[in-house]
Amino acid sequence: MTPQHLLSTLGVPAAAFDAGTLEARSPIDGQILGRVADAGAEAMNAAVERAHAAFLAWRNVPAPRRGELVRLFGEELRTHKSALAALVTLEAGKVTSEGEGEVQEMIDICDFAVGLSRQLHGLTIASERPGHRMMEQWHPLGVVGVISAFNFPVAVWAWNAALALVCGDSVVWKPSEKTPLTALATQALFERALARFGSDAPAHLSQVLNGRAATGEAMVDHPLVALVSATGSTRMGRAVGPRVAARFGRCLLELGGNNAIIVTPSADLDMAVRGILFGAYGTAGQRCTTTRRVIAHTSIHDELVTRLERARKSLKIGDPRESGVLVGPLVDQAAFDGMQKALADARAQGGQVAGGARVLADAQPNAFYVEPALVQMPGQTAVVCHETFAPILYMLRYEAFDDALALQNAVPQGLSSAIFTNDLREAETFLSARGSDCGIANVNIGTSGAEIGGAFGGEKETGGGRESGSDSWRAYMRRVTNTVNYSRALPLAQGVKFDV
């Protein structure tokens, strides 16, 4: 199906993607898929004001009823899963099953949010004063601004929007400049759900504004945006975080990762090899959870390298729509240049590089396909500590388990981590307070491909935010502590006397 056909199947009017200064290109072949308008700061400011008006009405709609809207949206996603997934593949270059997995992740978070819409619980708290009761309530927060990245062009928005909507917030979305069309399609599906929902949903409950930096900056700076939830590079987070803090807004940051897998002597190597391959080379190394480092015990290091090398060379690279292809293209030339620079740095820092070359350049001169790279490093040098958004796996060795833990934690990022071991002591130590310092720590599975039920995010330069499952919803609400006095006296707390 052509991109135009997919977009119209998904309900996007042609006028939305056939004019404008932002070009959407397919990483598959460099073809222009469509052109969209760059909204700009003024349009963003107006959208935030409309969103705030929507919030003022939506916060009064009972939460379970708000959940009904998200349920209807989940139905639209189920109906149009393959079309939206195909568009994700075209615009982000993901292989078909990963495109479908991404839409499934949206459906999953909708289901989660529907249940949550009846569970936005607060606590009751024992008061120290007689005849008093304390409790806390969670109330809608306001306008939630979402900044998303090209690599999960729709699922990460859905994590935020599904929760925000049941929490009683309105949503304004600034998608990646590289993936404006999947955003328009998602919005069109949301509007279908809105049309079926009924008149108690206010206009402008969820809006999408494509654009360049100025569009996003206006959102970041707008005092009516109560929460900015931003996914992307640490560089982007460093720009966004302080600006939101300067106006005392809330930020939820999900930034870079530098995720490692420790492989110990007792590990099931067949499983470890599979986990590492998907983690390192799946999505062409373009997930924030991608496995970027393996820390292998000296006794199994060489065997692991041999097995990984054999498997790496057999991975089918190419058009992500073709069956059997596991590694699609890099998103653009800048990603390719970044990868080549990292490999040159790795060589200069003593690394032994296998793979990494551009392939299919004759057939696809405007696209960037690469052989995934495996790099044996003499130690955790500067390039290993840096997140390069490409399929490069650095191999490191360790002798003592504590050294493996130290290496795992000695990078600036703290998103995901894993250990392959059959030794209970090692596994539990890895998960303990003195183990992995990441937001995600796994045993005998890889670093990527998290389910939506858990809280997703990480520490240090990853930004500290938590999205998706568990109690991440609390970031989208404001907490109010209530003390109710049902006695006839007015005692003060802490025994303070103020008798008049």
CB of 287 to ligand UN1, least distance (A): 4
Among 288, 305, 342, 393, binds ligand UN1 (CB under 6 A): 288
Known catalytic residue: 217?
no
Question: Looking at beta carbons, which residue is closest to ligand UN1?
Answer: 450
Cα-based angle 95, 254, 435 (whole degrees, multiple of 5)? 100
Nearer to ligand UN1, 45 or 104 (CB): 104
354/372 Cα distance (integer angstroms): 8
Nearer to ligand UN1, 287 or 397 (CB): 287
* Piece of the chain touching ligand UN1 by CB under 6 A; list 137-145, 283-291, 375-383, 478-486: 283-291
CB of 155 to ligand UN1, least distance (A): 6
Nearer to ligand UN1, 112 or 152 (CB): 152
175/154 Cα distance (integer angstroms): 9
Nearer to ligand UN1, 55 or 152 (CB): 152
- 411 counts as binding ligand UN1 under rule CB under 6 A: no
Nearer to ligand UN1, 69 or 326 (CB): 326
* Piece of the chain touching ligand UN1 by CB under 6 A; list 130-138, 284-292, 310-318, 374-382: 284-292
What sign does the CA torsion over 19, 20, 21, 25 have? negative
Phi and psi, residue 425, nearest 5°: -65, -45
Count other Cβ atoms within 10 Å, centred on residue 340: 17
| Backbone angle region of 277, left / alpha / beta, with phi > 0 → left and psi within -120 to 50 → alpha | alpha
**In the window 88-127, what residues touch ligand UN1 (CB under 6 A)?**
105
Any idea which residue has 């290993």 for tokens? 384
- 123 touches 260 (CB < 8 A): no
- 156 counts as binding ligand UN1 under rule CB under 6 A: yes
- 442 counts as binding ligand UN1 under rule CB under 6 A: no
- 459 touches 254 (CB < 8 A): no
- 460 touches 413 (CB < 8 A): yes
Task: Return the amino acid letter for 407.
Answer: L
Name the token pair of 478.
């404001």
Among residues 412, 438, 416, which one has the least CA distance to residue 234? 412
The secondary element (H helix, E strand) that includes residue 170 is strand 170-174
CB of 105 to ligand UN1, least distance (A): 6
Among 207, 413, 448, 462, binds ligand UN1 (CB under 6 A): 448
Nearer to ligand UN1, 177 or 221 (CB): 177
* Piece of the chain touching ligand UN1 by CB under 6 A; list 76-84, 238-246, 282-290, 478-486: 282-290
CB of 338 to ligand UN1, least distance (A): 16
Among residues 166, 232, 243, which one has the least CA distance to residue 205? 166
CB of 153 to ligand UN1, least distance (A): 10
- 287 counts as binding ligand UN1 under rule CB under 6 A: yes
Among 289, 413, 417, 436, binds ligand UN1 (CB under 6 A): 289
Instruction: Return the SS3 of 295.
Output: strand
**Catalytic member of 102, 254, 387, 467:** 254
Name the token pair of 284.
């062409």
CB of 232 to ligand UN1, least distance (A): 9
Look up residue 209 and give its DSSP letter. -
CB of 252 to ligand UN1, least distance (A): 13
Sheet holding 225-231, edge to edge: 206-208, 170-174, 143-147, 225-231, 250-254
- 356 touches 371 (CB < 8 A): yes
Nearer to ligand UN1, 254 or 426 (CB): 254
Among 152, 190, 369, 394, binds ligand UN1 (CB under 6 A): 152
Phi and psi, residue 308, nearest 5°: -65, -40
117/69 Cα distance (integer angstroms): 11
Query: Taking the mean position of all CA atoms in its chain, how far away is CA 28?
Result: 22
Buried/exposed code over 348-358 (b: 16+ C-beta within 10 A; e: otherwise): ebebebbbbee
CB of 112 to ligand UN1, least distance (A): 13
Number of residues that bind ligand UN1 (CB under 6 A): 11
379/410 Cα distance (integer angstroms): 12
* Piece of the chain touching ligand UN1 by CB under 6 A; list 110-118, 244-252, 295-303, 444-452: 444-452
Any idea which residue has 């397919």 for tokens? 26
CB of 452 to ligand UN1, least distance (A): 7
- 151 counts as binding ligand UN1 under rule CB under 6 A: yes
Nearer to ligand UN1, 180 or 449 (CB): 449
Name the token pair of 57.
């009405």
Nearer to ligand UN1, 73 or 159 (CB): 159
**In the window 214-233, what residues touch ligand UN1 (CB under 6 A)?**
231
Provide the binding-site residues for ligand UN1, judged by CB under 6 A. Answer: 105, 151-152, 156, 231, 287-289, 448-450
Active site residues per annotation: 254
